[in-house]
């Protein structure tokens, strides 16, 4: 009759099995995460909308489950990115500044060329406001922490006004338009396609565009986990650039595709395209980081963010690991 193994031997064997099982689960979880890619986008994310419609990313990353999540503006998108609900997304210049100042764990990974004609401060056609200085004492609707926030900061500065000289009314784009149309605010700072839609619909006058005030840059941000997957980021840059090239070569088709997605008229979409330059995507340049630092410094000086920040601290560099936080 064979003897039973002693208790210590049995315990060691059980622990060994548990360790192997835990390791397998860990590897499986990592593999599952590596096969998922969640993209955050907005109506104004022209390249991302085209990319989604053309399904270029899914074709280039076979075996990866790609999901798309729409947000009303950049601040909401970056909040989702910071809490792990999405992995990658496109926003304007201000949302990353507010996110970094709040200690959010996310990173700049890419950018598009400037679009200085794609945002504006709008007023009613018969409004007595004729210059930026006339905004003094007025109510200005804008999305807090969005590109329209920095546009308003710069517009007031050019008009010789302080931030305290206006009443900022923080509203997302749809609510801001409604407030503007019913006369609850005097001016509306907004970006395309909302800007173009308001123009085409009529009942607005452009007090100032962002040209000469801000370059209205577009940035792509990612989670810490995605910065460790450089081939995936390279693929994202490549397919976004491919989608943009398709827009340039097939503008009529691209306009219709965007109109169908966004529920906009073709006249509005063509207005967006008129002021949108070719927009290939790649890593941030040193000049762009320096420009973004100026955005951050402007918000810090006005105490609109809780502390000064160093933009370069959260910029991903190809071939290098992101800085520890």
Q: How many angstroms separate the CA atoms of 229 and 64, rounded?
A: 13
Residue 154 CA, distance from chain mean position: 20
Q: How many angstroms separate the CA atoms of 162 and 233, rounded?
A: 41
Domain architecture of the chain: domains with CATH: 36-113+217-314 (3.40.190.10), 119-209 (3.40.190.10)
Q: Quick one: DSSP state of residue 307?
A: S
What digits encode the pLDDT tens for the residues 149-167? 999 999 999 999 999 999 9
Q: How many angstroms separate the CA atoms of 73 and 89, rounded?
A: 11
Q: How confident is the model at residue 292 (pLDDT cuts 50, 70, 90)?
A: very high
* Three-class SS state of 68: strand
Using the Cα atoms of residue 310, residue 313, residue 316 and residue 318 in order, give the sign of their dihedral: positive
- Write out the DSSP string of 78-141: HHHHHTTS-SEEEE-SHHHHHHHHTT---EEEEEE---TTSEEEEE-TT-S--SGGGGTT-EEE
Q: Element (H or E) spanning 152, and its range? A: helix 147-158
Where is average pLDDT lowest: 184-193, 255-264, 306-315?
Answer: 255-264
Q: What is the mean pLDDT of the chain?
A: 89
Predicted pLDDT at 35: 86
Predicted pLDDT at 323: 57
Mean pLDDT across 107-136: 97
- Is 50 exceeded by the pLDDT of residue 24? no
């Amino acid at each position: 009759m064979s003897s039973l193994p002693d208790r210590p031997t049995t315990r060691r064997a059980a622990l060994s099995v548990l360790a192997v099982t835990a390791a397998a689960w860990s590897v499986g979880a990592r593999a599952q995460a590596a096969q998922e890619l969640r993209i955050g986008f907005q109506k104004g994310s022209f390249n991302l909308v085209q990319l989604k419609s053309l399904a270029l990313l899914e074709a280039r990353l076979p075996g990866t489950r790609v999901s798309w999540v729409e947000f009303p503006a950049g601040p909401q998108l970056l909040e989702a990115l910071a809490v792990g609900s999405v992995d990658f997304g496109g926003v304007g210049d201000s949302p990353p500044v507010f996110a970094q100042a709040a200690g959010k764990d996310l990173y700049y990974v890419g950018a598009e060329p400037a679009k200085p004609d794609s945002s504006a401060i709008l007023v009613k056609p018969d409004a007595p406001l004729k210059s930026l200085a006339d905004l003094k004492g007025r109510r200005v609707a804008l999305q807090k922490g969005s590109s329209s926030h920095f546009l308003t900061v710069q517009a007031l500065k050019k008009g010789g006004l302080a931030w305290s000289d206006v009443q900022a009314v923080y509203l997302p784009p749809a609510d801001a338009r409604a407030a503007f149309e019913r006369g609850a605010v005097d001016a509306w700072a907004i970006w395309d396609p909302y800007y173009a839609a308001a123009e085409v619909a009529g009942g607005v006058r452009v007090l100032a565009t962002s040209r000469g005030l801000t370059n209205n840059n577009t940035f792509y941000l990612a989670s810490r986990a995605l910065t460790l997957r450089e081939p995936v980021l390279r693929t994202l840059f490549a397919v976004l650039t491919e989608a943009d090239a398709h827009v340039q070569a097939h503008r009529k088709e691209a306009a219709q595709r965007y109109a169908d997605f966004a529920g906009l008229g073709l006249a509005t979409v063509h207005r967006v395209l008129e002021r949108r330059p070719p927009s290939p995507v790649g890593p941030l340049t040193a000049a762009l980081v320096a420009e973004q630092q100026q955005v951050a410094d402007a918000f810090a000086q006005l105490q609109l963010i809780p502390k000064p920040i160093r933009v370069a601290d959260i910029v991903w560099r190809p071939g290098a690991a992101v800085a520890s936080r």
